[in-house]
């Protein structure tokens, strides 16, 4: 679309969906009005399946809007974008960065960060929305030392980088807050023509018309990545994807893979794939091929960077790819919608789109030179922060496969569980664990009693409240550390403890981890002199596996008007004791 | 000029809506509801991109009628 066409497209979108309800409310608060971006944001959001309604602060009035209770809070934004520019704070901050008197550029940058932190604090008094704060860009026109600015450690370009570094450090300590990389956006598109000086002088519009589509796409992608769970597994084709040519026809010597054209593009793509594996993305193969042949290529080609063991699942056969993808999802015990397919063959991509529509299919460019860029710009692997669990994920899944193989050789389940030498630690939510807790709340579908998607900020609020008890469980065994795999959230009201959320990663299903969590809830309820514990089951399409969870643990179903699902109750006074911690799990440490 | 007229009408319709797809020379910021000082700039930028011309800063707020825009485009393309 040309910039002018966004106006018409956005009008049409707004007319068409006048009756639709499911909207994402986005508030943009900025030191310079960004309202002119509106048609671009609406169209780019719709491109990604997001139907947004927008609100913009009048120019410069960030705090005023935040503090005007009725105008802002009533809208209850889901996402709040705060964008300050250093040159709006002090008009000559860059141009006179070397003046002898007054504030230096660095001081002004620090002031901007302080102001952003204050805004976040004000927002958090009433809102648990996702917050994005824009980082800072050096305006091309205001870099007066052009050629040698980079010579001065205190010059504009280094100072702005330092300020952005400090902002990232401050933001990394906050829950539910991420950076919108405005500086990166300007850099990618070129700062020279970023601002049209005519539009700036006449109407205070800081982004030239030609740059508005990219700006909107960048912001919406950032929002999309915040909201959507990150894809877990990249499924790769082999011939003409990981190497050039067809292994079956061209043989080990004949395929293109190496340090010169045309093999270099494929080697570079393999590096890109491995960089995702480093960030916790699982790799799998789905190829119509002969398995022995491709194993020989992967094991013995000197330029093959990805090794056979890097693939968590490999489906090398002649079945339809849609079926193989379903099998991969089942093998790894993850949802089909966590898979991303990268396959050079448009026919295969189409087959998967039709027969396994939940799979994300990347549109692969015709030239392998563009593969790496297509992989990264799909946005499916972007995430604002990487947790310890993300980085270890491949190892977890690999050891899980070993565990399952071991399972088949034991006489009884308890024999098998004992052989795992499981240990578990439990603890209450804290700054270090909010991220992982929010992640599990957002992504757990099967072993989840109520599927309440509390945000990270909401978890933080609950943790601060005496009425709530947010607990995690971390499980390790002889094969390694599984990390935090289960969450319970209990609400106390008088003598009633109500289990708001209880969920667990399917990775540790059937290992009594759920019994350990239940024991923890009941024992803590007894300590707090509660008389009854109430559990809920809210059925969804995915969680039938836990329908009898409470009945199997001595709870009785009760009729109640409160809550949205089935309620179960256990009288812990009558019970007279706590619930036993499972024998097959040793308690690790004294974190309680 | 018919070609120019059609291209201009397409731009008017994108920026101001379908009711602005056949404006007369005397139409402008005072007669078209959606044509205001903000959409004026969107309009001029769209015309610059479509006709590969450049308007001076003073012109941005002066070219506020269909006739004025057409005349200026003719001048620029001579």
pLDDT in tens, chain A (592 residues): 899 999 999 999 988 876 565 589 999 999 988 999 999 999 999 998 889 999 998 888 888 888 886 666 667 899 999 999 999 988 888 888 877 777 889 999 999 999 999 999 989 888 889 999 999 999 998 877 778 888 888 889 999 999 999 999 999 988 889 999 999 999 999 999 999 999 999 988 999 999 999 999 999 999 998 888 889 999 999 999 999 999 988 888 899 999 999 999 999 999 999 999 999 999 999 999 999 999 999 999 999 999 999 999 999 998 999 999 999 999 888 899 999 999 999 989 999 999 999 999 999 999 999 999 999 988 889 888 777 777 777 777 777 766 666 655 666 777 778 888 899 999 999 988 998 899 899 888 889 999 999 999 999 999 999 999 999 999 988 877 888 999 999 999 999 999 999 999 877 888 899 999 999 999 999 999 999 999 999 998 888 889 999 999 889 999 876 657 899 999 998 888 888 889 889 988 644 4
Give dist(CA A182, CA A179) in Å, integer: 8
Which residues in chain A are closer than 8 Å to B55, comparing Cβ atoms? Answer: 198
Give dist(CA A375, CA A362) in Å, integer: 7
Give dist(CA A47, CA A77) in Å, integer: 21
- CB distance from B34 to chain A under 8 Å? no
Classify the complex by whether its ipTM is higher than 0.85, answering yes or no: yes
Which residues pair with residue A130 across a beta bridge? A79
With beta carbons less than 8 A apart as the criterion, state whether A502 and A449 touch.
yes
**Do residue A8 and residue B14 have CB atoms under 8 angstroms apart?**
yes
Which residues in chain B are closer than 8 Å to A3, comparing Cβ atoms? Answer: 42, 45-46, 49
Give dist(CA A371, CA B9) in Å, integer: 41
Give dist(CA A290, CA A267) in Å, integer: 22
What distances in angstroms separate CA A253 from CA A246, A292, A298, A523, B8, one per listed residue? Answer: 11, 16, 12, 65, 60
**Do residue A4 and residue B49 have CB atoms under 8 angstroms apart?**
yes
**Do residue B15 and residue A209 have CB atoms under 8 angstroms apart?**
no
Structure tokens at A582: 């499972």
- CB distance from A1 to chain B under 8 Å? no
Structure tokens at A562: 């409160």
Which residues in chain B are closer than 8 Å to A58, comparing Cβ atoms? Answer: none
Chain A 5-64, CB below 8 Å of chain B: which residues? 5, 7-8, 11, 36
With beta carbons less than 8 A apart as the criterion, state whether A73 and A20 touch.
no
Give dist(CA A278, CA A269) in Å, integer: 14
- CB distance from B57 to chain A under 8 Å? yes
A55: left (phi over 0), alpha (psi -120 to 50) or beta: beta
Instruction: Give me the phi and psi of A404, to 5 degrees please.
Output: -65, -35
Chain A 171-190, CB below 8 Å of chain B: which residues? none
Give dist(CA A472, CA A462) in Å, integer: 14
Give the residue on B whose Cα is nearest the Cα of A201. B57
β-strand pairing of A566-571 with A556-558: antiparallel
Facing B14 at nearest CB: one of A4, A199, A202: A4
Instruction: Give me the phi and psi of A497, to 5 degrees please.
Output: -105, 120
Q: Which of A202, A204, A207 to mutate to test the interface with B (most CBs of B within 10 A)?
A: A202
- Cα–Cα–Cα angle for A430, A436, A439, rounded to 5 degrees: 130
**Do residue B41 and residue A8 have CB atoms under 8 angstroms apart?**
no
């Amino acid at each position: 679309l040309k910039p002018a066409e966004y106006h018409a497209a956005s009008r049409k979108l707004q007319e068409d969906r006048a009756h639709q309800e499911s909207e994402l409310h986005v508030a943009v608060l900025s030191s310079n009005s960004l309202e002119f971006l509106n048609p671009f944001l609406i169209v780019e959001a719709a491109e990604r399946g997001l139907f947004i309604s927008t609100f913009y602060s009048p120019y410069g009035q960030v705090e005023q809007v935040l503090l005007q209770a009725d105008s802002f809070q009533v809208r209850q934004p889901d996402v709040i974008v705060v964008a300050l520019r250093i040159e709006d704070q002090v008009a000559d901050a860059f141009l006179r960065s070397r003046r002898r008197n007054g504030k230096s550029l660095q001081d002004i940058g620090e002031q901007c960060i302080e102001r952003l932190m204050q805004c976040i604090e004000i927002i958090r008094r009433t809102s648990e929305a996702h917050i994005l704060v824009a980082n800072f860009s050096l305006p091309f026109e205001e870099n007066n030392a052009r050629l040698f600015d980079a010579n001065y450690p205190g010059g504009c370009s280094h100072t702005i980088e330092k300020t952005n570094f400090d902002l990232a450090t401050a933001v990394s300590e906050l829950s539910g807050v991420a950076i919108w990389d405005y500086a990166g956006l300007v850099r990618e598109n070129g700062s020279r023509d970023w601002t049209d000086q005519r539009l700036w002088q006449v109407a205070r519009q800081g982004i030239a018309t030609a740059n508005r589509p990219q700006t909107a796409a960048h912001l919406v992608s950032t929002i999309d990545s915040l909201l959507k769970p990150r894809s877990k597994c990249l499924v790769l084709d082999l011939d003409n994807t990981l190497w050039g040519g067809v292994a079956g026809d061209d043989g080990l010597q004949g395929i293109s893979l190496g340090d010169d054209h045309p093999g270099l593009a494929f080697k570079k793509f393999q590096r890109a794939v491995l960089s995702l594996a480093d960030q916790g993305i699982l790799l799998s193969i789905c190829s119509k091929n002969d398995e022995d042949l491709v194993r020989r290529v992967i094991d013995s080609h000197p330029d093959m960077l990805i090794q056979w063991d890097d693939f968590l699942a490999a489906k090398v056969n002649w079945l339809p790819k849609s079926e193989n993808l379903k099998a991969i999802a089942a093998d790894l015990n993850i949802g089909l919608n966590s898979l991303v397919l990268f396959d050079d063959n448009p026919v295969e991509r189409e087959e998967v789109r039709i027969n396994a529509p939940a799979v994300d299919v990347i549109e692969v460019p015709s030239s392998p030179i563009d593969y790496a860029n297509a992989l990264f710009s799909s946005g499916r692997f972007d995430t604002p922060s990487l947790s310890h669990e993300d980085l270890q994920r491949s190892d977890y899944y690999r050891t899980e496969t070993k565990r399952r193989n071991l399972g088949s050789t034991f006489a009884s389940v308890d024999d098998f569980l004992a052989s795992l030498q499981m240990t578990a630690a439990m603890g209450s939510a804290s700054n270090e664990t909010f991220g992982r807790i929010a992640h599990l709340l957002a992504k757990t579908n099967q072993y989840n009693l109520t599927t309440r998607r509390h945000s990270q900020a909401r978890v933080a609020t609950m943790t601060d409240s005496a009425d709530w008890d947010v607990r995690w469980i971390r499980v390790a065994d002889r094969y390694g550390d599984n990390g935090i795999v289960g969450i319970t959230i209990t609400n106390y009201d008088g003598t009633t403890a109500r289990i708001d959320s209880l969920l667990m990663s399917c990775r540790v299903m059937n290992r009594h981890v759920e019994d350990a969590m239940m024991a923890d809830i009941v024992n803590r309820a007894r300590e707090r002199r509660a008389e009854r514990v109430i559990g809920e089951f809210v059925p969804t399409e995915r969680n039938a596996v836990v329908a009898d969870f409470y009945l199997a643990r001595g709870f009785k179903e009760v009729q109640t008007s409160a809550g949205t699902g089935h309620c179960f109750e256990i009288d812990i006074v009558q019970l007279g004791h706590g619930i036993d911690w499972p024998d097959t799990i040793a308690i690790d440490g004294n974190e309680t | 000029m018919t070609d120019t007229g059609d291209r201009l009408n397409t731009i008017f319709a994108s920026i101001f809506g379908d009711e602005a797809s056949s404006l007369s020379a005397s139409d402008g910021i005072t007669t078209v509801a959606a044509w205001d000082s903000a959409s004026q700039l969107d309009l001029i930028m769209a015309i610059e991109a479509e006709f590969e011309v450049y308007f001076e800063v003073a012109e941005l707020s002066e070219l506020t009628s269909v006739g004025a825009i057409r005349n200026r485009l003719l001048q620029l393309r001579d």
